[in-house]
Amino acid sequence: MQILNHTKKTLIAKRAIIADTAISRLVGLLNRSSLNEDEALVITDCRSIHMFFMRFPIDVIFVDRAERVIGIVKNIKPFQVSPYFWRSRYVVELFPGAIESSQTMLGDLIQIEK
């Protein structure tokens, strides 16, 4: 799956996987030692993330039901907690710098292509 910034016509991630079960959402990226520049993890039903026991920083995009970006957290580091975004439907976890390179901003439309 690919994740596109429909507003800016930029590629956010070339290879994305979805964590949509209780176990996959709980594990998230904990079993990884890194994330490649073109990869992403989409976590459904998510309004905040924690970085407890993570081994590397990530960028995070929070998206609402209308597929609009409602929250951005750049370069969140291990053992930190993100803000809580009440209206978030899912989050996209990315390689640090992915938000900046895709020019993603609050209000942009996100598109997931299978």
Query: Quick one: pLDDT at residue 76?
Result: 98
**Quick one: tokens of 106?**
């609050």
CATH class of 2-113: mainly beta
Helix, strand or coil for residue 12?
Answer: strand
Query: Quick one: pLDDT at residue 30?
Result: 81
Query: Quick one: pLDDT at residue 2?
Result: 97
Tell me if 91 sits within 8 A of 3, measured CB to CB. no
68-95 per-position pLDDT tens digit: 999 999 999 999 999 999 999 999 999 9
Domain residue ranges of the chain, discontinuous segments joined by +: 2-113
Query: Quick one: pLDDT at residue 103?
Result: 97
Query: Quick one: pLDDT at residue 25?
Result: 86
pLDDT < 50 regions, the chain: none
CA nearest to 112, candidates 19, 20, 42? 42
